[in-house]
Amino acid sequence: MDAVVVVAQVAGAGGAEKFINALSSGLALGAIYAILALGFVIIFKATQVVNFAHGALAAVGAYFTVYFATVLNVPGRFLEFLPYTAQWILSAALAVLATAVVGMIVERITIRPMIGEPLFAVAMITLGLDLIIRTVTNDFMGNQARGLNDPWGADIVEIGLLRVAKTQIVTMIVAVVAMLLLAWFFRSRMGIAMRATAFDQEAAMAQGISVGKVFAVAWAIGAALAAIGGIFSSMAPRASAGLTPFTALIVFRAFPAVIVGGLDSVTGAIVGGLLIGMAEVFAGTYLATVSWLGVGFSGIVPWLFMMLILLVKPYGLFGTEEIRRV
């Protein structure tokens, strides 16, 4: 970070402004990555499944939002007395719920029968699921971009030097709320059951914890978080046009966040997400003028960052280190 401050000072006039704005949009992008990474980590921790269909679930969430908010207008059509913002938020919440249900169905049909089978096979199944879900969604959605009609649009708030998009503020608020809810969840009865299952599945079963239920809940939460991430990544300023068939690919950009944090750490997912988001935005802000790096260098910064971290900490920043006697 120090280095970045130095760069900011070197940039001279407008340097502070540039820096603050990069910081805020880095945090907002990081919040999206953190939410996506969290969903991924929760599914991995509870079920040991690497869910390659996470991006597809994110797209499904955004698509449901498009459908509920702009096509069907539910639940807004029954609640016309509410302001549009509230109506839209309810549609988005409904979309998140619907995606959670999709996640549970996917788990029940494709993952549950595979309990006890090699994890590699299960990971391949999720890869296939990713293609299937994306194809089906694209079929409904068509190839053109679909706007989410969110009430904030491209509005910008100016606070002193800081110019920040309203959607970014909303992203950060939602991320914080989601994390607080998760923190609460992990102390609830179901959450404790999930942590117990993640730690020792057989011992958890011996206590009477229903592992199937834990798996279903983990997939529901994971899918809901994917949906939230998908919704915010189809909004301005990330994607001014809205949801496109490429939305699902955002998760591939959140993947370094998961790895940096350490595949099985909830804290790691949050820290990793924020770090990767910042790295990407700062690279975009300060390295765009370095001509020999070429255009779009910021896109690979997350991956470079991930490789650097892995060189020093092979299990990520917060991952459980495998202890092996030699």
Partner 1 sequence: MLEVANLEVVYNDVVLVLRGLSLEVRDGQIVALLGANGAGKTTTLRAITGLLDIHEGDITKGSVTLAGERIDGKDPSDIVRMGIAQVMEGRRVFAEMTVDENLRTGAVTNNDAASVKGAYERVMEMFPVLAKRRKDQAGFLSGGEQQMLAIGRALMAAPKLLILDEPSLGLAPLLVQQIRDIIVDINKQGTSVLLIEQNANMALSIADFGYIMEVGKVVMDGDPQKLLSDEDVQEFYLGLHGEGERKSFREVKHYKRRKRWLS
249 counts as binding partner 1 under rule CB under 8 A: no
**Looking at 127-135, 203-211, 240-248, 255-263, which segment touches partner 1 (CB under 8 A)?**
203-211
CA distances (Å), 310 to each of 33, 60, 194, in order?
A: 18, 32, 28
- Site for partner 1 contains 182 (CB under 8 A): no
# residues near partner 1 by CB under 8 A: 18
Counting contacts by CB under 8 A, is residue 200 touching partner 1?
Answer: yes
Residue 193 makes contact with partner 1 by CB under 8 A:
yes
CB of 208 to partner 1, least distance (A): 3
Binding mask 77-116 for partner 1 (x = CB under 8 A): ---------------------------------------x
Instruction: Give me the least distance between CB of 118 and partner 1, in Å please.
Output: 14
Site membership for partner 1, residue 217 (CB under 8 A): no
196 touches partner 1 by CB under 8 A: yes
Q: Does 322 bind partner 1 (CB under 8 A)?
A: no
Decide: is 189 part of the binding site for partner 1 (CB under 8 A).
yes
Among 201, 245, 267, 288, binds partner 1 (CB under 8 A): 201
User: Hey, how many other C-beta atoms are within 10 angstroms of the C-beta on 75?
Assistant: 14
Nearest-angstrom CA–CA distance, 132 and 22? 37
| Candidate ranges 66-74, 94-102, 196-204, 290-298; the one touching partner 1 (CB under 8 A) | 196-204
CB of 264 to partner 1, least distance (A): 11
Distances (CA, A) of 109 to 17, 43, 104, 152: 51, 16, 9, 38
If the CB atoms of residues 194 and 275 are measured against partner 1, the closer one turns out to be: 194
Nearer to partner 1, 74 or 182 (CB): 182
* DSSP string of 235-259, one letter each residue: STTT-TT-B-TTGGGHHHHHHHHHH
Q: Which helix (H) or strand (E) holds 159?
A: strand 156-159
For residue 226, give the amino acid letter.
A
Backbone angles phi, psi at 162, to 5 degrees: -80, 130
Contact indicator for 318, 271 with CB cutoff of 8 Å: yes
Is the distance from CB of 222 to CB of 40 less than 8 angstroms? yes
CB-based contacts of 103: which residues, under 8 Å, 6+ apart? 57, 219, 220, 222, 223, 224, 226
State yes or no: residue 183 binds partner 1 (CB under 8 A). no
Binding mask 109-148 vs partner 1 (x if CB under 8 A, - otherwise)? -------x--------------------------------
How far apart, in whole angstroms, are the C-alpha atoms of residue 314 and residue 170?
A: 34
Q: Report the greatest alpha carbon distance in the chain.
A: 69
Q: Which chain residues interact with partner 1 by CB under 8 A?
A: 116, 189, 192-193, 195-196, 199-210
